[in-house]
């Protein structure tokens, strides 16, 4: 996949009343678990989790005992595929194609089917002008509702309760298995199984899951799988000074108000002269704020230099930890 860019996302700037502190929360990306080669531009997706018409009856008993609605997995598995399309399509110039007329059949259960024939894979990719083929090999869903209801009813009888205890939550479970085929090199780029749970409230004591439970869980399962190829984000908090000392008090406040409105350049214009203030604490605080502003603007080296100056030259204790955090940030560049 194309080189991962490292965008810095500013979430919000906060302050705590009359405190001297404020902070900014930032998001940084983690690299994806797996990367695709740069020559992969188009991915076609096929749902193979379905069964042929003649084989449908053999799954009815399983559907009833596991609290599925017979036939519901057909629509839900399509939601699983749709989630992949929604999250991946357009990412790093990759296009996702869902062919309308291509149908593949699998086991219809959690049993993983055999690998597709490479001629079949190549034909599907050629038809859809795709570089690789992503296949939803299996899709199976159930909920804990039936088993839990039976348990509660038996418990109610044993304890002599007049009314059975009805579960107030339903846990929907979707297991999906994926393979990513590369016809050019005749290799499996990825094969992976997800097991996705979502809890749903059941305030009315229904004996079947709510209608939105299965499609929502299926969509989450597809999103969970394709997340392997997408960056995730982690959140960091950077403390900064909202207030200064003596004659610098109002200047710090003005600079902080600029930061609250995302005018970091305006804030830096106010804080920069204070970095040479005769009072050590004022200068140290101004250097720390300059470091935060530089990090927000994406200049990590300048941020490190300002934080280092705040600690080494002005002994600002908060800057000590910030210097180490920025050193790690620079190591990732």
In the DSSP assignment, the letter for residue 302 is: H
Q: Tell me the pLDDT band of 151, cut-offs 50, 70 and 90.
A: low
- 42-229 and 242-331 share one fold: no
pLDDT digits (tens, 9 = 90+) for 11-25: 556 665 567 888 998
Q: Tell me the pLDDT band of 72, cut-offs 50, 70 and 90.
A: low
| Residues contacting 314, CB < 8 A, separation 6+ | 280, 281, 283, 284, 287
Q: Where are the domains of the chain?
A: 42-229, 242-331
Q: Tell me the pLDDT band of 65, cut-offs 50, 70 and 90.
A: very low
Out of 45-49, 113-117, 147-151, 299-303, least confident range:
147-151
Q: Residue 250's CB: how many other CB atoms inside 10 A? A: 11
- pLDDT average, residue stretch 45-68: 58
Question: When comparing pLDDT for 151 and 122, which is higher?
Answer: 122
Give bridge partners of residue 169 from the DSSP assignment: 201
Residue 239 in this model has a pLDDT that exceeds 50: yes
Highest mean pLDDT among 26-35, 62-71, 145-154: 26-35
CA dihedral 113, 118, 119, 120 (to 10 degrees): 30
Residue 189 in this model has a pLDDT that exceeds 80: yes
Half-sphere exposure of 42 (CA within 13 A, CB side): 12
Q: Roughly what angle, to the nearest 10 degrees, separates helices 317-331 and 280-296?
A: 30
Return the pLDDT at 216.
Answer: 92
CATH class of 242-331: mainly alpha
Q: What is the rounded average pLDDT for all residues in the chain?
A: 83
Return the pLDDT at 60.
Answer: 38
Distance of CA 49 to the CA centre of its chain: 25
> Distance of CA 167 to CAs 145, 202, 205, 209, 299, Å?
7, 7, 6, 11, 54
> Distance of CA 195 to CAs 81, 129, 141, 233, Å?
15, 31, 10, 22
Give bridge partners of residue 198 from the DSSP assignment: 172
Return the pLDDT at 15.
Answer: 60
Residue 104 in this model has a pLDDT that exceeds 90: no
Strands of the 21-30 sheet, one edge to the other: 9-15, 21-30, 232-241
For β-strands 95-97 and 169-182, DSSP reports them as: unpaired
Q: Please give the angle made by the CA atoms of 9, 14 and 17, to the nearest 5 degrees.
A: 175
What pTM was computed for the model? 0.71
CATH no. for 42-229 = 3.40.50
Out of 96-105, 233-242, 304-313, 323-332, least confident range:
96-105
pLDDT digits (tens, 9 = 90+) for 282-300: 999 999 999 999 999 999 9
């Amino acid at each position: 996949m194309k080189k991962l860019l490292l965008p810095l996302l500013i979430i919000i700037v906060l302050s705590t009343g009359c405190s001297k502190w404020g902070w900014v929360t930032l998001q940084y990306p983690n690299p994806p678990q797996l990367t695709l080669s740069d020559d992969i531009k188009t991915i076609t997706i096929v749902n193979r989790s379905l069964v042929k018409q003649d084989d449908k009856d053999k799954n009815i008993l399983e559907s009833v005992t596991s609290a599925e609605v017979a036939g519901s997995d057909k629509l839900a598995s399509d939601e699983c595929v749709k989630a992949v399309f929604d999250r991946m399509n357009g990412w790093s110039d990759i296009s996702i194609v869902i062919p309308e007329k291509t149908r593949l059949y699998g086991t219809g259960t959690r049993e993983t089917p055999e690998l597709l024939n490479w001629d079949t894979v190549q034909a599907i990719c050629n038809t859809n002008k795709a570089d690789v083929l992503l296949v939803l090999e299996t899709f199976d869903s159930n909920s804990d509702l039936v088993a839990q209801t039976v348990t509660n009813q038996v418990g109610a009888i044993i304890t002599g309760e007049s009314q059975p205890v009805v579960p107030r939550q339903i846990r929907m479970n979707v297991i999906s298995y994926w393979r990513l085929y590369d016809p050019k090199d005749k290799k499996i780029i990825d094969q992976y199984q997800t097991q996705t749970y979502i809890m749903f409230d059941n305030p009315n004591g229904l004996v079947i899951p709510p209608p939105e439970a299965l499609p929502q869980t299926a969509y989450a399962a597809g999103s969970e799988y394709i997340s392997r190829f997408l960056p995730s984000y982690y959140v960091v908090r950077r403390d900064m000074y909202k207030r200064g000392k003596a004659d610098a008090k109002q200047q710090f406040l003005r600079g902080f108000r600029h930061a609250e409105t995302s005018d970091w350049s305006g804030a830096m214009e106010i804080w920069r002269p204070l970095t040479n203030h005769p009072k050590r604490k004022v200068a140290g605080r101004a250097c720390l704020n300059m470091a935060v502003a530089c990090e927000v603007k994406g200049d990590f080296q300048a941020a490190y230099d300002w934080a280092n100056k705040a600690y080494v030259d002005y002994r600002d204790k908060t800057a000590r930890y910030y210097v180490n955090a920025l050193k790690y940030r620079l190591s990732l560049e």
